[in-house]
Structure 1
C-alpha cells in the first residue's frame, strides 16, 4: 500500500489503483516500487489469479513524472537500477492474466503497460499516446516489438515518431483493446472481465499465457531499450526537451544531429 498506489485483493483479483489524480497519475519512482511489488506478488501469491490495473480521476496515467524522473536519473550512471525497470521485469515475467481499465489520457508507460495486459477496456473518448521522441527519449517496456506486432510497423512508427494520440475507439479498431465503452462503464466492464478470468482454471490460464509470450526475449529487449533510453536521457536533445517541457514551449532541435 502507498499513498499514490493502492493494492487490494478480493476474490482472486489483485486490483492495483494509481491514486494520484491531481497529477493525472504521473508515476514517480516511489510509485514504480509499489507497482513492482504488486506485480511480483501477482506471480507468486497463489491467492492471486488476475491483476487489474486501474486509476482514480479522469486520466489513467500521464506517463512518468518528469521532474522526479530527471532528478533520479541524473543521480545514477545506471538507469537500469531505477525502480521502473524492476516493474518492467515483473511485467515481462508475469504469467497471471492482466486486465487494464483506461479512461482519459494514457501516455507513455500508460500505453506501453497495456501491451503487457491480456484484456484491455478503454473509454471511447480515451486518448492514448507514446510521445517518447517528443521528449528526445527512446521507447520502453519492449514496446518497440510489441506495439508493431499488434498494430503494424507503420502505425507504430507514427505513434512513436509523431507522438500524436489515438482515441479509445481507434485503439479497439487497431487491436490494442478488447472493449471500448463509455467512460462511466470502464471500471465495471474491466472488473467483470477480471472476475471471468479469475473463475477459469488457473494453471491452464497461466500455461496459455506463458506459451503466448517469450518472457526472456521481452526482458532482453527491455534491457536494450533501457540502454538506449539511458543514453538519450543524458543527451543534449533530451535536456532541450525537458527544458522546453518545464517552460511550456516547443523544443528546438534545429541544431541537433
Structure 2
C-alpha cells in the first residue's frame, strides 16, 4: 500500500509509503488520503490526525508521469480530481491535523503543510515549492497562506525563485512549530497528538474553527483562482519544456519564451 492509515488511541496516522519512488504522489494516493480524511470527520474514534512520511523523505511531490497522464482532469468541470478532493478535505477538516516531516517535502509536500495546524520538522527536512521552475504557479492557496504566515518578501523569495529552504530557516520564518533531531520527530509528534486527544474534543474543534474564522472560505476561493491558472499553465509551452527536460534529465531552456 502506497498510503498507510492506522487509528490508535484516538490518532489517525496517514503515512506516505512509496519510498522506492521517493513517496511521489499518484492520483490513487490522493484518493486514499481524501477518503481517510473524509471518513475521519465523522468518526468519533478519531480525535487528531497525523500526516507523515519516511525518515529519509516526506514526499517528492507529484508523480510526474501519473500527473501528466491525468493533467486533463485538472481543467475538467465534470469531475473533481483526487488531488482536489484531498486538499479540500484537508482544508475543511474540523479536527486538528499535525504534520511530522523529515527529508524532502517538494511542491505539494510543502503546500499541504499550510493546511495543517501543527508542523514539526526533523533537522534533515528540506522544503521547496518549485512551481515557477516547472513553468507553473502556486497551488491550493499557497500564494495567500504562505505570505500571511511568513510575510510578503520571504514568500516572494520562496515562491518566485522556487528554491529549497531547510528546517531551521522554516522555523525562523515562523512557518513551523519546532525542529527536532530525526529520531525524536515521530515520538514528539505523537506526544503532541496525544495531548490533543486528551482534551475535550468539542473544545479543540471549536477553538480551531474560531481561529480559522472566515479563512476556509477565502482559501477555497483562492484555491479556485490558483487552480484555474495552474490548469491553463499546464498546457502552455513553458510547462511542456520543463516536463520534457525533466524526463530527458536536462536543464529546461526558458529563454525562448516571453
- Name the TM-score class by shorter chain: over 0.9
Off by >3 Å, runs of 4+ in structure 1 = 74-77
Q: Distance in 2 between matches of 1:164 and 1:96?
A: 32
**In 1, Cα distance between equivalents of 2:207 and 2:232:** 36
CA distance in 1, matches of 2:127, 2:40: 26
Could you state the TM-score of these two structures normalised by the residue count of structure 2? 0.95
What are the superposed Cα offsets for residues 165-201 of structure 1, whole Å, 9 maximum, x if unpaired? 1111111111111110111211111111111111111
Q: Compute the TM-score of the two structures, normalised by the length of structure 1.
A: 0.95
Q: C-alpha displacement at 1:122, in angstroms?
A: 0.3
The corresponding residue for 1:122 is 121
Q: How does 1:27-106 map to 2 (within 5 A)?
A: 27-74=25-72, 77-78=75-76, 81-106=80-105
CA contact (8 A) 2:75 2:232 kept: no
Size of the aligned set, in residue pairs, is: 255
Deviations 1:12-36 (A, max 9, x none): 1000000001111110011000010
Greater mean alpha carbon deviation, residues 26-35 or residues 75-84: 75-84
Cα distance in 1 for partners of 2:252, 2:80 equals 28
Task: Structure 2 unaligned segments of length 5 or more: list them.
Answer: none
Indicate the residue corresponding to 1:253 in structure 2: 254
CA contact (8 A) 1:51 1:96 kept: yes
Match of residue 144 from structure 1: 143
| Separation of aligned partners in 1, 2:180 and 2:186 | 10
Q: CA RMSD of the aligned region, Å?
A: 1.4
* Superposition deviation, residue 125 in structure 1: 2.5
Contact 1:24 1:57 in 2 (8 A): no
Counterpart position of 1:216: 217
Structure 1 residues not aligned, in runs of 5+: none
SS of the equivalent of 2:253 reads: coil
Deviations 1:17-57 (A, max 9, x none): 00001111110011000010111122221211111001125
SS in 1 for 2:250: coil
Q: What CA distance in whole angstroms lies between the structure 2 residues aligned with 1:115 and 1:76? A: 21
Could you say what secondary structure the match of 1:78 adopts? coil
8 Å CA contact 2:60, 2:104 repeated in 1 = yes
Q: Distance in 2 between matches of 1:241 and 1:69?
A: 14
